[in-house]
Structure formats: C-alpha cells, structure tokens
C-alpha cells in the first residue's frame, strides 16, 4: 500500500500541468458542483444538470418515461435506462477534460488535502466535487480511476465508503428531504456540513479497518 502511494505521488509530481489542464479542471468543478444550477442567465448552460436536460411526457401524461407503480425486472430496466444519458454525458466530458490534463491538475491541487483527510490521492478531487450533486457521476469517476490504476483497491474502498453514506448530499438533502426542511431547527447549510463530517468519519473508520487488516497480514 505504501509503495502504491509513493508511486502515485511520483507519477503526479512527474507530470506537468498546462493552463489547459487547470482550465478544464475549473470547468469540471463548476459544471459538476451545481453552483450554476439556479442561475437565470447564460451561466446555467455550464451546469451539468441543465446540460443533461430531462425526459419529456407523453401527450396527456403526468409522469415521465419511468412512470409510476412499476416493479420487478422491468422497473429496474427502465430505471437503468434513465441513467444512460447521465453516464454517457459525464463520460464524454471527463474524457475530453482528462485529455487536456484535468485529472493531473486535480491530483496536484487536492493531493495535500485528501492524503490527510482520507488517505487517498488527490485524483479523487473531481469525484469528490461531483458527489455533492450526483451519486451516479461520482461512482462512474471512481470506477474509471480504478480501471486506469490511478487509485488502488484500498483507495477505492475508502472513497466508496465516503460516497455511499449520504450520496449526492446537496440534491438529496434539498430534494428528497424537502418535506423536513421547514421543521428543522438548523439551517440547511449546517445540515449538509454535518452530513459531510459524518461521511468523513465513516470513510476513516473503513481506512482504519484496512490499515489494521494490512498490519495483521504483515504480522502473519
């Protein structure tokens, strides 16, 4: 594990980041963070959700393509089908920006923070940002980084633990939890901050477990 971490750090330090890399990183952060989601001007065109759009309704229908009351394999198939545009759109944006050097720039920018907070390389920075608004995009980014050997299996496990608890924190808190917000005693910002803190605690518990397991394996 330590060797993998050293190799990751060496790879990041050996790669030069151009202005294109930083520009593409800033674009991805703004796109996936949702900061432009509620703008009423041209800036909304740079929001991932706005770019993704939404399914239309059949004439006279009140529900979208997924409908209501479904069950079993057919309902699961339709649900998976609705995720295809999200995954394809995210993959296209990430592949283009990765070619421009966004992933390398993210590694250099977030490396000091995530190495201390989670014990993972800074390359997870983009997935971290996107996980606030979309669990699907963050999961795809994490899988893609693992497939390309940018993170190890232990890194993936720790970061997946962070994502799994309270995924898509902002969207789910404001959207799914909208009915509870009027009766909460805390501002929504503090609620989201508390959720993020608990997510970090859970991920570090997994981190400690993996460290203990490695130590036990070394002792044997």
pLDDT at 84: 76
> CB count, 10 Å around CB of 189?
9
For residues 71 and 175, give the distance between their C-alpha atoms in angstroms, rounded to a whole number: 23
> CB count, 10 Å around CB of 130?
28
Residue 170 corresponds to which tokens in the numbers above? 């902002």
Could you tell me if residue 170 is inside a domain?
A: yes
Question: Which residues neighbour 161 within 8 Å (Cβ) at sequence distance 6 or greater?
Answer: 202, 203, 205, 206
pLDDT at 220: 66
pLDDT at 55: 65
Helix (H) or strand (E) holding 175: none
pLDDT at 155: 93
- 85: containing domain: 2-54+66-219
Q: Is the Cα dihedral 137, 142, 143, 149 positive or negative?
A: positive
Expressed in angstroms, the distance from the first to the final Cα of the chain is: 17
The count of structural domains within the chain is: 1
Could you tell me if residue 61 is inside a domain?
A: no
Residue 111 corresponds to which tokens in the numbers above? 């490396």
For residues 137 and 114, give the distance between their C-alpha atoms in angstroms, rounded to a whole number: 19
| Tens-digit pLDDT string for the chain (220 aa) | 444 444 444 444 556 778 888 898 888 888 877 778 778 888 888 887 777 776 666 555 556 666 667 777 877 787 777 777 777 787 788 788 878 888 788 878 888 889 899 999 888 888 888 888 777 788 888 988 899 888 999 999 999 999 988 888 877 776 666 667 667 777 777 888 899 999 999 999 999 999 999 888 776 6
Residue 119 corresponds to which tokens in the numbers above? 């014990």
For the chain, how many residues are written?
Answer: 220
- Map tokens 């330590």 to a residue: 2
């Amino acid at each position: 594990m330590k060797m993998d971490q050293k190799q990751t750090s060496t790879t990041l330090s050996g790669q030069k980041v151009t202005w294109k890399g930083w520009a593409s990183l800033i674009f991805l952060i703004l796109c996936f963070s949702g900061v432009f989601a509620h703008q009423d001007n041209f800036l909304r065109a740079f929001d991932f959700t706005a770019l993704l759009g939404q399914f239309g309704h059949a004439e006279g229908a009140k529900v979208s393509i997924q409908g209501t009351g479904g069950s079993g394999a057919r309902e699961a198939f339709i649900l998976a089908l609705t995720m295809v545009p999200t995954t394809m759109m995210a993959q296209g944006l990430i592949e283009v920006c990765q070619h421009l050097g966004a992933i390398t720039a993210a590694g250099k920018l977030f490396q000091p923070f995530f190495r201390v907070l989670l014990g993972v390389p800074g390359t997870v920075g983009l997935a971290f940002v996107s996980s606030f608004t979309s669990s699907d995009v963050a999961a795809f980014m994490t899988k893609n980084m693992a497939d390309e050997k940018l993170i190890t299996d232990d890194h993936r496990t720790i970061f997946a633990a962070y994502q799994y608890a309270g995924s898509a924190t902002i969207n789910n808190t404001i959207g799914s939890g909208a009915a509870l917000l009027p009766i909460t005693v805390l501002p929504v910002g503090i609620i989201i901050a508390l959720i993020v803190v608990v997510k970090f605690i859970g991920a570090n518990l997994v981190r400690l477990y993996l460290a203990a397991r490695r130590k036990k394996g070394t002792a044997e």
